Structure 1
Amino acid sequence: MNTSRTAPQLRRILLAALAALALMLPVLLAPAPAQAAATIATRVSGFAAGPATVTKGKAVTYSGQVQRASGKSWVKTGAVSVHVYFDPDGTAPKKYVRTIKTSATGYFKSATASTVSGKWSVTVPARGTYKASSSVTKYVKVVRAKVATRVGSFAAGPATVTKGKAITYSGQVQRASGSSWVKTGAVTVNVYFDPDGTAPKKLVRSLKTGSTGYFKASATSSVSGKWSAHVPAQGNYNGSYSATKYVKVAAAPKPAVTTPINKTTCPSWAPIKGNRSSMIYHMPGQRYYNITNPEACFATETAAVKAGYRKAKV
């Protein structure tokens, strides 16, 4: 069978193809339909991040609600994405932290472990008919965890001291390290004294410990009472108090010999009158005791004899 086509047939086929192509061109050349532009404003209402000061490693919680404009009002959105950002102190720009999804009413709340101080904020990205928006920034200060302290081996003494003599107090400031207590570096220690019958306790002095936390100093004794040491909160350390130590202050012993109170009288604790010109001492009750003008007064006869005096005969 002869399959060749004549020129008129080929012409008709070509014309038919061109006609079909002409019908399709408007469709092929038509522009793609444009997506609807974002037209609805959004905002982040009630954004919060805190607490305002947090211990390093503890959670910083951030929350708020994404709202959309509705006429002159703001109403809740549905579930939308929120990007969380953090701007650490001294660095720029802010850093992306995470993306979270709000609830069906636009609310969100989540947390991140704290590392350094800085500003927290969130951004609502443009999506669908919603425009992008950003929250205000909230500053959170991050502080190091406080370390417990104690005053180990606090001592004050001697237990009984003569008035006017020195009372020595000492101890070591230690810090917690896991389940143990170890030495601190140089820290401030306040020494207090609570005199018998008075309140409250009184600050005696502030001093600096050595590099291993040890301290030792002294004060002149005056009255009996309780001694203690206080480590005030400082740097990364919590404050602490030592145990109290009681020190009794005794009156100084009277001397065996002293001078007269006046020309004719000896003190009551040294009533024996000594006359230097005669080297005779007179006891209270003897005949010439009252008229004797003493040059020396003795507490005991032994003291008078030791000084070279002899007892009056009458």
Structure 2
Amino acid sequence: MMRRLAAGLAAAALGATVVATAALPATAATRAATTVTADPDFDGGHTRLQFEADPNPVWRGRPLTLEGKLSVECEEDYINGFVSVLHADHCKKQEAWHRLGWKRVVILFQADGSGKWDYVETVRTGRDGYFRTKVPAYTSGTWKAVFEGARYLDGAEATDWVKVVGRR
């Protein structure tokens, strides 16, 4: 409680609207966070969705593993729940992208020769930004993972084509 009060007073003294930064551990940052004011001129953090469907080719009726990673470009300021990253030092030194946890990713499928996308399921990224699910494969086609975006985050999507082999 005292940390939260001290963080709030420090932010007020500096005129800042965001208190928590990536320099704090995630649990401490979440506890120390205060109200975040939205910036109407901010167009969103640039996100990237990596996606893979394995194995390829797959036998008809066998499980297909759909997995990937959702991340946001660290060069841009962004807010993830109560945690904000304002040009974080650790992002610039280690990697240019920061993983986004607890976000929804929609899985779609389009069979070869079909013009429409069919909804399969919605999964959530783990705290590390990774997601994974298994589905049975019945026909060749394209699998798509879609992150529809969130407050302060742009949407992203990725596809992977899979060939299904075996008798019908």
Scaled to the shorter chain, the TM-score interval is: 0.5 to 0.7
Aligned to 1:215, which of 126, 131, 148?
Answer: 131
Hey, what does 1:176 align to over in structure 2?
A: 73
Q: Which amino acid aligns with 2:46?
A: A
Report the secondary structure of 2:128's partner residue.
Answer: coil
Hey, what does 1:264 align to over in structure 2?
A: none
* Runs of 5+ consecutive residues of structure 2 not aligned to the other structure: 1-36, 76-91
Q: Which amino acid aligns with 1:147?
A: G
Q: Which amino acid aligns with 2:63?
A: A
Q: Which amino acid aligns with 2:138?
A: S
2: distance between equivalents of 1:162 and 1:252?
9
> In the alignment, does 2:74 pair up with 1:158?
no
Report the secondary structure of 2:163's partner residue.
Answer: strand
TM alignment of 1:188-267, pairs within 5 A: 188-242=104-158, 244-252=159-167
Cα offsets for 1:282-305 (capped at 9, x unmatched)? xxxxxxxxxxxxxxxxxxxxxxxx
User: Percent of aligned pairs with the same residue?
Assistant: 27
Cα offsets for 1:177-211 (capped at 9, x unmatched)? 11721111210101111101101222211111101
Q: Which has the higher helix share?
A: 2
* Runs of 5+ consecutive residues of structure 1 not aligned to the other structure: 1-115, 118-140, 254-314
2: distance between equivalents of 1:198 and 1:225?
9
1: distance between equivalents of 2:40 and 2:57?
50
1: distance between equivalents of 2:149 and 2:41?
14
Q: Which amino acid aligns with 1:190?
A: V
Q: Which amino acid aligns with 1:157?
A: D
Q: Report deviation, 1:251.
A: 2.2
1: distance between equivalents of 2:46 and 2:148?
11
Conserved? CA contact 2:124–2:131, under 8 Å: yes
Cα offsets for 1:84-106 (capped at 9, x unmatched)? xxxxxxxxxxxxxxxxxxxxxxx
Report the secondary structure of 1:159's partner residue.
Answer: coil
Q: May I ask how many residue pairs the two structures share in their alignment?
A: 114
Q: Which has the higher strand share?
A: 1
2: distance between equivalents of 1:196 and 1:147?
34
Q: Which amino acid aligns with 2:71?
A: Q
* Counterparts in 2 of 1:208 and 1:143: CA distance versus 1, 3 Å: farther
Cα offsets for 1:120-150 (capped at 9, x unmatched)? xxxxxxxxxxxxxxxxxxxxx8475411111
1: distance between equivalents of 2:126 and 2:103?
8
Q: Which amino acid aligns with 1:150?
A: R
Conserved? CA contact 2:47–2:71, under 8 Å: yes
The structure 1 segments of at least 4 consecutive aligned residues displaced by more than 6 Å after TM superposition are: none
Q: Which structure carries more relative contact order (alpha carbon 8 Å, separation 6+)?
A: 2
Conserved? CA contact 2:106–2:122, under 8 Å: yes
1: distance between equivalents of 2:151 and 2:101?
11
Q: Report deviation, 1:162.
A: 1.4
* Counterparts in 2 of 1:211 and 1:143: CA distance versus 1, 3 Å: farther
Aligned to 1:149, which of 33, 38, 47?
Answer: 47
Conserved? CA contact 2:49–2:69, under 8 Å: yes
1: distance between equivalents of 2:110 and 2:101?
28
